[in-house]
Amino acid sequence: MYLTQGLHRALQQFPDAPATICGERRRTAREVADRVARLAAALQSLEVEAGDRVAMLALNSDRYHEYLLAVPWADAVLNPINIRWSFAEIGYALKDSGTSVLLVDDMFIAMVPMLRKECPGLRAVIHVGDGQAPVGTVDYEGLIAESAPIEDARRGGDSLAGLFYTGGTTGTPKGVMLSHANLLASTFGAVASGHLFGSGARYLHAAPMFHIADLIGWSATEILGGTHVFVPSFSTEAVLAAIAEHHVTHTLLVPTMIQLLLGHPGLDTYDLKSLRGVLYGASSIPQATLEQAMQAMPDASFTQLYGMTELSPVATMLSPAEHYDPALLRCAGRAAPHAEVRVVDPDDAECPRGAVGEVVARGPQVMLGYWNKPEETATALRGGWMHTGDGGYMNDDGYVFIVDRLKDMIITGGENVYSAEVENAIAQHPAVAACAVIGVPDPQWGERVHAVVVTKSDIETTAEAIRAHTKTLIAGYKAPRTVEFTDALPISGAGKILKHQLREQHSNQRG
């Protein structure tokens, strides 16, 4: 199987049904396939060869959809870039992957000259916009118009489908290598659960399309032959309007987004009755939010997906019916039909039920490995199981409760933030002597990036100054929302910062 298979199926079964709706622009499967076949030809004419990496740095649109299809059609490999990353991080992902062609929309086009300087391997930049292509870039629509369609290379199976960069525990991002089979295993497994989708879905891309979570919604829509609806990026106004106008049936959100939608002042002026299923991930959903959401979206069922990029990304699911049990709302669900999930101790022996250990998963959705990182790959996949780095326990009914992220990762507003990355950035501020970054519970963001800072005795600074400094180095969402100054950090005998202790102080404050 291969990522373009759904497009071929649509061509065979409903070529003239709407495949994409993007603002005023609507295209059928036949039109999409023609454009994809031409874009693939254009990529090959830009010397993209089998296995070459092609990146995209853009907001959501029907052109992102075409990119996801044209790259495998041309026998190449995807590299969807995190649009919220800093310049340095984006440069790293392009350089590390050896990307040769980059597609950029107007939102990010200004970055191009600097990216070119940073990544000499970048042979061509395609401007994905409606206006004139800036000098030195190639026009997307022009390429499609000029190129003659080629046959699909039908890249698939165990071959590399894409590199998906994730922030690393060590502070350096890693390129997660996922095959076509990996991505389709998660898609079929999640869909087979029966809790999401059906035929005739209209799926709204409300979360960013570079993200693996939205990619599963994309892939499920493809294999079942639904219609994709796009908003450029998440805004309450745009999402509510798109659901109402285009009779959206399914979407994927993170709990923070759901809260923002529910807080929209004009919420009840939008007809959300078409919504049948909301997938969410990244964190549990607070009960109050769920109750409000059920009222506002009366015909929608809620399904939680838990996993990570390395699991393409689905490991466990919490079904709509399970959402009616308040005790289960805090958990991440149970192993999906295609996945094996366990909780293990440091020796990789299975823990007794109820005992906290590391959550591990096995199955056809486990990544091929980290790009050019054989040691990290071997460590993560030791014994054939993907070690998530998440601490959790399993109850007697197989429900997985995540209690701690062993990798020191914070999930804020649906984004993964590794503490080490933030600490590295803060530490570069001249006033900082030591610092520790933790996630603290936050009603809006799920978790909030919080920095505990010890300043040098002779230099004064402020929380705002620390935040501003950090944002010059890493993505804005990774900068600490709150900064706390202290005289000393709790340190273990081995000299390690006792973050556990810092977190406890914060949960006690809340309690």
CB atoms within 10 A of CB 18: 18
401 touches a copy of itself (CB under 8 A): no
Helix (H, G, I), strand (E, B) or coil at 296: helix
| Residue 363 engages a copy of itself in binding (rule: CB under 8 A) | yes
For residues 223 and 5, the answer to whether their CB atoms sit within 8 Å is yes
- Rule CB under 8 A: choose which of 24, 347, 375, 397 binds a copy of itself: 397
- Residue 223, interface with a copy of itself (CB under 8 A)? yes
**Contacting residues for 500 by C-beta, under 8 A, at least 6 apart:** none
Nearest CA among 380, 403, 159 for reference residue 284: 403
The window from 87-95, 306-314, 334-342, 403-411 that contacts a copy of itself (CB under 8 A) reads 334-342
CA distance 471 to 479: 6
Q: Is 276 in the site for a copy of itself (CB under 8 A)?
A: no
Residues sharing a CB contact under 8 Å with residue 178, sequence separation 6 or more, in sequence order: 160, 161, 162, 164, 212, 309, 312, 367, 368
**Got the DSSP string for 407-456?**
T-EEEETTEEEEHHHHHHHHHTSTTEEEEEEEEEEETTTEEEEEEEEEE-
Q: Does 30 bind a copy of itself (CB under 8 A)?
A: no
Q: Which of 55, 128, 258, 394 binds a copy of itself (CB under 8 A)?
A: 394
CA–CA distance, 189 with 365 (Å, rounded to integer): 9
Q: Which of residues 151-210 bind a copy of itself (CB under 8 A)?
A: 187-189, 191-195, 197-199
Instruction: Pick between residue 72 and residue 439 the one whose CB is nearest to a copy of itself.
Output: 72
Residues in CB range of 1: below 8 A, 6 or more apart: 156, 157, 180, 181, 184
Query: Minimum distance between the CB of residue 278 and a copy of itself, rounded to whole angstroms?
Result: 17
Minimum distance between the CB of residue 5 and a copy of itself, rounded to whole angstroms?
7
- Does 266 contact a copy of itself by CB under 8 A? no
Minimum separation from the CB atom of position 470 to a copy of itself (A): 38
- Residue 60 or 303: the one with the smaller Cβ distance to a copy of itself is 303
Asked if 392 interacts with a copy of itself (CB under 8 A), we say: no
Minimum gap (Å) between residue 301 Cβ and a copy of itself = 12
Give the span between the Cα atoms of 386 and 79, in whole angstroms: 22
# of chain residues touching a copy of itself (CB under 8 A): 34
Q: Is the dihedral of CA 380, 2, 121, 128 positive or negative?
A: negative
The DSSP code sequence of 177-221 is: EEEHHHHHHHHHHHHHTSSS--TT-EEEE-S-TTSHHHHHHHHHH
| Shortest Å, Cβ 300 to a copy of itself | 16
**Stretch of 3-11, 119-127, 412-420, 445-453 contacting a copy of itself, by CB under 8 A:** 3-11
Closer by beta carbon to a copy of itself, 191 or else 410: 191
Helix, strand, coil percentages, rounded to 5, for the chain: 35, 25, 40
By C-beta, is 147 or 303 nearer to a copy of itself? 303
CB of 374 vs a copy of itself, minimal distance in Å? 23
By the rule CB under 8 A, 14 interacts with a copy of itself: yes
Q: Which of 334, 429, 448, 467 binds a copy of itself (CB under 8 A)?
A: 334
Nearest by Cα to 14 from 184, 156, 222, 211: 222
With respect to a copy of itself, which residue has the nearer C-beta, 194 or 266?
A: 194
CB of 106 to a copy of itself, least distance (A): 36
To which residue do tokens 């340095």 refer?
A: 88
Comparison of 143 and 224: residue with beta carbon closer to a copy of itself: 224
CB within 8 Å of 130: residues ≥ 6 apart: 141
Which residues here bind a copy of itself, judged by CB under 8 A? 1, 5-6, 8-9, 12-14, 187-189, 191-195, 197-199, 223-224, 319, 321, 334-335, 337-338, 340-341, 363-364, 394, 397-398
